[in-house]
Amino acid sequence: MLRNQDGEGQILSNVVLSQIAEHAAYGGVVPEIAARAHAEVIDHIIEQAMEEADVRFDHLDAIAAAAGPGLIGGVIVGLTTAKALALALNKPLIAVNHLEAHALTPRLTDQVAFPYLLLLASGGHTQLVAVRGLDDYVRLGTTIDDAIGEAFDKVSKMLGLGYPGGPAVEAQAMSGDAARFAFPRPMQGRPEPNFSLSGLKTAVRLEAERLAPLAAKDIRDICASFQAAVVDMVVDRTRVGLRRFRDVAGTAPTALVIAGGVAANLAIRRGLQRLGAEAGLRIVMPPPALCTDNGAMIAWAGAERLAAGITDGLDTSPRARWPLDPNAPGSGKGGPGREGVGKGAKA
């Protein structure tokens, strides 16, 4: 990753090794497999990235790595390797919060200025965050139960569509009848911009059980009706988040930014684009490859932190839990929030 004086970034290489194949047979991410796979490939991936970028180790200004939150095995492997490099090369280490990396990606892809509203939706997280500046995040809302990606994955499993569920459910939904089932729109109209998916998921399960055995059309219609309910909820919750934004940032956001694997969903993208048009707000969605987990986003967050003079000691610990906004309710140890409890989040 290159970052120039004007704050513009350039990706020199972005090697992503997907472990989906290793986990697919189990219908989800298996922590032990993930940790072992990280250890097996990390040297090779670093070598490949350096080759593609065509830079030498002594050209680097610093070494950044994800230090959490997420499945701890993979995080330990990545952070320990980064520490070894930083020590051997005598370069600063930057321990990056994986959620911060998602949050800052639109500054790499679209030079979005602070402050902006972020909708982060992945397999492990669903949050609306006011991004006021570097290291200055206010969580406006979160899910009180499942993450959106997790709900897509569970519905997919229920209907026998496999893993990961998001793309599979979306593909079925495209030719389904979204009006056939009136699934609930959880949290609709509530004043806090929080999300809830478990009631919707249960409604889908009950309908699938009632109709069993499912015909192909039933599956398509269930997927379309489920997805439509999710879109309505996301649009409603984000609209409330926009209203709340002014209270914590003192000004309107420069943009609404969508990040995380769920941002790849076209129906959700379209719904938010409608909201943007209605609110006169710029909508920024990084390309899907930079929305899902990748190395470039960690490097970019590292470059932004380095430019602000923020580096970390070699005694930095990996963290399974690491809220972006430490003051948010449910972010403390043992709090009610379930975000970041190693639920499918990746390094």
Binding positions for Fe cation are 98, 102, 293
Return the axis-axis angle of helices 198-211 and 216-249, rounded to nearest 10°: 170
DSSP 9-70: EE-S-------HHHHHTTTS--HHHHHHHHHHHHHHHHHHHHHHHT--GGG-S-EEEEEESS
Least spacing, CB of residue 12 vs ligand KG4, in Å = 22
- Taking the C-alpha atoms of residue 312 and residue 91, their distance in angstroms, rounded to an integer, is 11
Q: In the bound complex, what is the minimum distance in angstroms from residue 245's beta carbon to ligand KG4?
A: 23
List phi, psi (to 5°) of 210: -65, -35
What distance in Å separates the CA atoms of residue 345 and residue 34, rounded to the nearest whole number?
11
Tell me whether residue 92 or residue 295 sits nearer to ligand KG4 (CB atom): 295
Give how many residues touch ligand KG4 by CB under 6 A. Answer: 22
221 sits near ligand KG4 (criterion: CB under 6 A): no
193 binds ligand KG4 (CB under 6 A): no
Residue nearest to ligand KG4 (CB): 166
344 binds, among ligand KG4, Zn ion, none (CB under 5 to 8 A by kind): ligand KG4
**221 interacts with, out of ligand KG4, Zn ion, none, CB within 5 to 8 A per kind:** none
Taking CB under 6 A as the rule, does residue 346 contact ligand KG4?
yes
Binding marks (x or -) toward ligand KG4, 254..293, rule CB under 6 A? ------xxx-xx--------------------------xx
Stretch that binds ligand KG4, among 14-22, 85-93, 146-154, 232-240 (CB under 6 A): 146-154
CA–CA distance, 339 with 331 (Å, rounded to integer): 8
Radius of gyration of the chain (CA): 20
| 120/204 with CB nearer Zn ion | 120
Nearer to Zn ion, 221 or 293 (CB): 293
Of residues 290-329, those binding ligand KG4 (CB under 6 A): 292-293
What is residue 307's three-state secondary structure?
Answer: helix
- The token pair at 159 is 């209907």
3-state DSSP helix/strand/coil % of the chain, to nearest 5: 50, 15, 40
Spell out the residues 6+ positions from residue 161 whose beta carbon is closer than 8 angstroms to its own: 168, 169, 172, 219, 223
Q: How many angstroms from the chain centroid is the CA of residue 195? A: 15
Q: Euclidean distance between the first and final Cα of the chain, in Å?
A: 18
Using CB under 5 A, list all residues that contact Zn ion: 122, 293
Q: Does 81 bind ligand KG4 (CB under 6 A)?
A: no
List 106, 124, 295, 323, residue binding ligand KG4 (CB under 6 A): 124
CB of 244: closest distance to Zn ion in angstroms? 23
Q: Shortest Cβ distance from residue 158 to ligand KG4 (Å)? A: 13
Q: Which does 149 bind (CB under 5 to 8 A by kind): ligand KG4, Zn ion, none?
A: ligand KG4
Residues 144 and 133: their CA atoms lie apart, in Å, by 26
265 interface partner picked from Zn ion, ligand KG4, none, CB below 5 to 8 A per type: ligand KG4
H or E stretch at 140: strand 136-142
**Which residues of this protein are in contact with ligand KG4, per CB under 6 A?**
122-124, 149-150, 152-153, 164-167, 170, 260-262, 264-265, 292-293, 344-346
